[in-house]
Amino acid sequence: MIRRTKIVATLGPSSGNPKTLERMIRGGVDVVRINFSHGTREQHIELVEMTRSLARAAGFTVGVLADLQGPKIRVGKFEHGKIRLEVGDQFILDAACELGNQERVGLDYKELPGDLETGATLMLDDGRIVLGVSQVKGHQVFCVVEQGGILSNNKGINRKGGGLGAPALTGKDLEDIRTAAEFGADYLAVSFVRSGDDIRQARALLQEAGGKGMIMAKIERSEAILALDDILEASDAIMVARGDLAVEVGDAAVPALQKRMIRSARANNKIVVTATQMMESMITNPIPTRAEVSDVANAVLDGTDAVMLSAESAAGEYPVEAVEAMARVCLEAEKEYLVSIDRRMQSINPATIEEAIARATMYTAGGLQIRAIAALTQSGVTALLMSRRSSKVPIFALSPNEETRRRVTLFRGVYPVEFGEGLNDPEEILNLAEQELLDRGVVRSGDIMVMTIGEPVGKTGGTNTMKIIRVGEWKTRQGIDKN
């Protein structure tokens, strides 16, 4: 059984060596995440080159997701590294403080006082500590501790309900976008997105730097929920980033929001990744908890394109095992029949010829005993449109374009195949495509498969033909024997 849901694994100290990374690729990694919150430009480039070299040698295609850090809304450092806050304590967030103590701490985001007013609630360290704002005076935010605990260096700050005005793109992000363009990132994830304009700005900057990657919006601010339609329109993909989002909207609200975002992304022909703490116990344990297994399985059943490992693969003790466990869970969950999420196929007319061909292909796949779909594609758009319809029929994106093959690694149920370089004759291409899937053992003589192609050949965005083929008939009819 071929796994349809893709796996994104964050690279870091635990996985940044060739032996471990190769095992992760063979274990099921489809896309690696380069986290710009850690490491240097040189380290990022080295990791990308290592990934692509190892994948090529093993016969796999692996995509690269470059994840921008975004604004650092964090406390500063403490004189002794950490303090303990008790309920009822008075505490000051001071933009002018250099080194924190039991009474106050500095801020990385110096503009924080201007975003707050009396009565606001601040969540520190992913909600472990809660501060109520009693007064804002100049560069100081006077707070009362409502939920105490240990507060250490550089912990994050969120405002309950959202409303912090830090821009999505920082000066560091601008440099990192250039780095992402340099190593040819297939996806660029923008952190703390507030609106579609943040995505449009990131896209313009990436293109200006020479990058061609798709743009992913990380949904982790409450404002992003309100602007979801605008963000979906501007982006190619979204990430359900449940960590910061849960702090802002409340943990109980996240499961329903996750389902809503997955539905909305698929309905708008966008890619969706579900992330954060999916198998967090595997940072220190070789097997996941039953709750984590259910979490991953539910995301799969919801129709997510991919599930993501963060610290589990970047800094955990069992990065390979985490990948393998996630792959097992995805495969088991996919055995359940999925009702189509794209209701537009019944209610809205297709917007383009490509979309019409994609719909016709998936309708045919659902009605006949189709073994496989071969989408001969330059850009990957037709394969993406097909993947928005839930189906157990595998879609093979056959393309001469390496960037396209890396891009489709994130599309649910789509598998990249290097094919078609220098070919121009449609009959020859279709014949060789059939043979390609025969050689891979995907289809056998007598099976029915569907092929899509654009005529004239080689034109991006030109898919206009669907053919239903019984495997082996062309060979018999044309007297061609390629064995």
Digits of tens for pLDDT over the chain (483 positions)?
799 999 999 999 999 999 999 999 999 999 999 999 999 999 999 999 999 999 999 999 999 999 999 998 999 999 999 999 999 999 999 999 999 999 999 999 999 999 999 999 999 998 999 999 999 999 999 999 999 999 999 999 999 988 888 899 999 999 999 999 999 999 999 999 999 999 999 999 999 999 999 999 999 999 999 999 999 999 999 999 999 999 999 999 999 999 999 999 999 999 999 999 999 999 999 999 999 999 999 999 999 999 999 999 999 999 999 999 999 999 999 998 554 444 544 556 777 889 999 999 998 988 888 999 999 999 999 999 999 988 889 999 999 999 999 999 999 999 999 997 877 787 888 889 999 999 999 999 999 999 999 876 666 667 888 999 999 876 554 544 444
Quote the CA–CA distance of 184 and 404 in Å, as a whole number.
Answer: 12
Q: Are 378 and 401 in contact (CB under 8 A)?
A: yes
pTM of the predicted model, to two decimals?
0.92
Quickly count: other Cβ atoms within 10 Å of residue 377's Cβ: 32
Q: Are 231 and 196 in contact (CB under 8 A)?
A: yes
Q: Are 262 and 238 in contact (CB under 8 A)?
A: no
Of 305, 317, 171, whose CA–CA distance to 239 is shortest? 305
Q: 3-state DSSP helix/strand/coil percent for the chain, to nearest 5?
A: 40, 25, 40
401 SS3 class? coil
* pLDDT recorded at residue 480: 45
- Catalytically active residues, by annotation: 33, 74, 218, 276
Quote the CA–CA distance of 455 and 173 in Å, as a whole number.
Answer: 41
Q: What is the DSSP letter of 251?
A: G
* pLDDT recorded at residue 344: 46
Quickly count: other Cβ atoms within 10 Å of residue 20's Cβ: 15
The phi-psi region of residue 165 (left if phi > 0; otherwise alpha if psi is between -120 and 50; otherwise beta) is alpha
Domains of the chain (ranges; CATH) run: 6-70+167-335 (3.20.20.60), 77-159 (2.40.33.10), 353-478 (3.40.1380.20)
Q: Which residue matches tokens 């891979």?
A: 440
- In angstroms, how far is CA 394 from the centroid of its own chain? 20
Quote the CA–CA distance of 442 and 434 in Å, as a whole number.
Answer: 10
Element (DSSP H or E) covering residue 447: none
